[in-house]
Chains A and B, each alone.
Chain A
Amino acid sequence: MKAARVILEALKREGVDTIFGFPGGSVIPLYDALYDCPGITHILARHEQGAGHAADGYARASGKVGVCIATSGPGATNLVTPIANAYMDSVPMVAITGQVSRHLIGLDSFQEADVTGITLPIVKHSYLITSKDDITRTIREAFHIASTGRPGPVVIDIPVDIMKEDMEFDPDDVPPLHLPGYKPTVKGHMKQIREAARVIAAAERPVIYAGGGIIISGASQELREMALYGHIPVVNTLTGKGGFPEDHELSMGMVGMHGTPYANYALSQADVIFAVGVRFDDRVTGKLDAFAPHATFIHVDVDPAEISKNVAIDVPIVGDAKWVLGELITELRKLELSPDRHLPWMEQVESWKRDHPLIVREPDNGEIMPEWAIHKIWQVTNGDAIVCTEVGQHQMWAAQHYLCRHPRQFISSAGLGTMGFGFPASIGAQVGSPGRLVIDIAGDGSFQMTLQELATAVQFRLPVKVCIMNNQWLGMVRQWQELFWNSRYSQTCIECQPDFVKLAEAYGAEGYRVSRPEDLEETLRIAFASPAPAVIDIRVKQEANVYPMIPAGGTVHDMMEREL
């Protein structure tokens, strides 16, 4: 058997049935093996970045490891952004890159790039295979590393001459895992968990601050049980959306720069913050020394390096969120918490919610307000769609107004903030969730970064729906220019843009345009019901800003709640 085929067989042994990729000189043997390899579907992207983000979206929607392939040199460097993206948001991914033949490495050969070197700071781990004998062991290790502990991307760089060699493969001969330096902590320290329970029980103003770790570890049920039993309000991060149902009365919605006023008020006034699966990102904390000044912090995370990285933690618990929450609930029950032990706090929280709600501006003068459009999408889909986003204003409006009830429902480039992520991610999410309605909420700027993947969606009959919040601006930068740079709109106006309807049609997808508020709902229903991929160009008010907003490095006192 060719080593290239062994690579595929080893992937299958890890449960891989779908690969996203793009061929090239140094992976021809791999694609030759794919030509007649049963059990693996290859989704051909139109750009390696598309393949990488699709693998990411697939992983986030399905919980499985996303796999992508690119050739050496430019193919591999085109994967750099998706790898960095997966790294920042802890997404399990295995990226296989072809490398030039071993005797050509280091000679500036055609399509050669030092891929393991380039990706070093943005991978959980990486391998340069130097012998066919290392193939099966490396693939086994890569999947183990990518998917356990704090997940992340693993790069496997394979010289093309190795792929062409002949070798034996025995499917039952599974290489043993030998990773003496890698032992993620799953079980939290019981003494710390008991201490956390004691602190929570004694809290007068407790808040749960829940992030993407809840979704990664599958701890939604435990989180819900804990919040309900302890009667504790929950704020979530961007990646934490859907970890706790956002329509629940205890949900305070998203926290941070564009979070709800009440989530930010709650964190700022809390006396105990139970942080789980979060990393105290600067988009959440704002000014660090002024962040939650009255709080005792409990932090649960599987990555010990996150503990006290940005905020000094009083009760650290290293472990898997699901495991730790399970034990913590048991400990809390032993303490027999009374649900009305912090009534004044709950009243305070309720009054914040009542007095500072998120505002959905109704259409004004025949113009569609972007958050109203998102709200309509939410209504039309009963809040059940898988929603991917690009990066910018539309992303924040989507995060604010597309309330999620379930984990793995909201897929967004949170840490890296990658424009052009959402559309290919939606393709991957659709592959990973056949039969589900998958929507990419896009901006007109972001969509133009990866729109070539329309061909992929059409070719593979993936009926994703791109809803462009088209304001003809690079809106988020324009908003910053307006608010902090004296309205000097440098290079953010993008009025010159394609006719998105014709563009969609040119690719063989459906195109729709909505300019009037009264047409939106009907158009959405038609487009969402269609079995074809569709682009819905929604013309929204051009200079609408995202509110609330806490300026970067600010505090809750600097919050701008609405348009002045």
Chain B
Amino acid sequence: MKHTLSVLVENKPGVLTRVAGLFARRGFNIDSLVVAETEKPELSRMTIAVDEQDQNVEQVTKQLHKLINVLKITDLDPAGSVERELLLIKVKASGQTRGEIMQMVEIFGARIVDVTAEVLLIEMTGPREKVGAFIDVLAPFGIVEQMRTGRLAMSRGRKAT
């Protein structure tokens, strides 16, 4: 079962190691992990994507709570939250295929950010599935390199995550 944990932590040295180490220690694999400052500079937000049984996620959540620098953990419900990933992808684009790729970029709401004679560098944001679908569509043209940020997620509605 896929879970997205949104973890509010104190922005201090070593906190990432503590959190990541705890996952490793309890035998959990992290699918993706995004960390950055929040609107309050003394706090950071970690968005951790894991694929684990509910019971295991509950246990690791409790263990995370024990870390002194962890303030709040939310196991985000996919229906009640907005999830985004950023993709940077470099695709081979010869004269004939260039137009076709640009069409795909249009359809998926992506953006071309760098152009050379041989390749296009494209950026795209969206939910994980949509990012995946876009990559699938581009694959036949020849992917030179791709990078994904991993999931960011925020709860819908008035309340903070």
Contacts and interface: CB of A to CB of B under 8 A. Distances in A.
B68 A145 contact: yes
A223 B21 CA distance: 37
Contacts of A120: 17-18, 21
Interface string A106-118: 0000000000110
A179 B71 CA distance: 9
Contacts of B18: 120
A304 B64 CA distance: 11
Interface in B4-28: 9-10, 13-14, 17-18, 21, 25
A180 interface: yes
B67 interface: yes
B14 A309 contact: no
B96 to A, nearest CB: 53
Interface string A130-164: 00000000000000010000000000000000000
Most central of B25, B59, B65, B66 by chain A CB within 10 Å? B66
A434 interface: no
Contacts of A117: 17
B62 A304 contact: yes
Nearest to B43: A180
B161 to A, nearest CB: 16
Nearest to B60: A305
Given A120-B21, A181-B10, A125 B59 contact: no
Q: What class of interface size applies to chain B in its complex with A?
A: 10 to 19
B93 interface: no
A307 B62 CA distance: 9
Contacts of B71: 180-181
Contacts of A125: 68
Interface string A306-323: 011100000000000000
B32 interface: no
A227 to B, nearest CB: 29
A124 B65 CA distance: 12
A246 to B, nearest CB: 32
A128 interface: yes
Given A180-B10, A180-B71, A181-B10, A304 B65 contact: yes
Contacts of A121: 21, 25
A35 interface: no
Contacts of B10: 180-181
Contacts of B14: 116, 128
Contacts of A116: 14
Q: What class of interface size applies to chain A in its complex with B?
A: 10 to 19
A350 interface: no
A303 interface: yes
B15 to A, nearest CB: 10
A182 B13 CA distance: 17
Nearest to A306: B62
Nearest to B12: A127
B89 interface: no
Nearest to A145: B68
A307 B66 CA distance: 13
Given A179-B68, A181-B68, A181-B71, A305 B63 contact: yes
A309 B69 contact: no
B48 interface: no
Given A116-B14, A121-B21, A305 B69 contact: no
B91 interface: no
18 contacts: A117-B17, A120-B17, A120-B18, A120-B21, A125-B68, A128-B13, A145-B68, A180-B71, A181-B67, A181-B68, A181-B69, A181-B70, A182-B68, A303-B66, A305-B62, A305-B63, A308-B59, A309-B59
Interface of A: 116-117, 120-121, 124-125, 128, 145, 179-182, 303-305, 307-309
Interface of B: 9-10, 13-14, 17-18, 21, 25, 58-59, 62-63, 65-71
Given A181-B69, A307-B62, A308-B58, 18 more contacts: A117-B17, A120-B17, A120-B21, A121-B21, A121-B25, A124-B66, A125-B68, A128-B13, A128-B14, A179-B68, A180-B10, A181-B9, A181-B68, A181-B71, A182-B68, A304-B65, A305-B62, A308-B59
Q: Which 5 A-B pairs have the closest CB atoms?
A: A305-B62, A125-B68, A181-B71, A182-B68, A181-B70
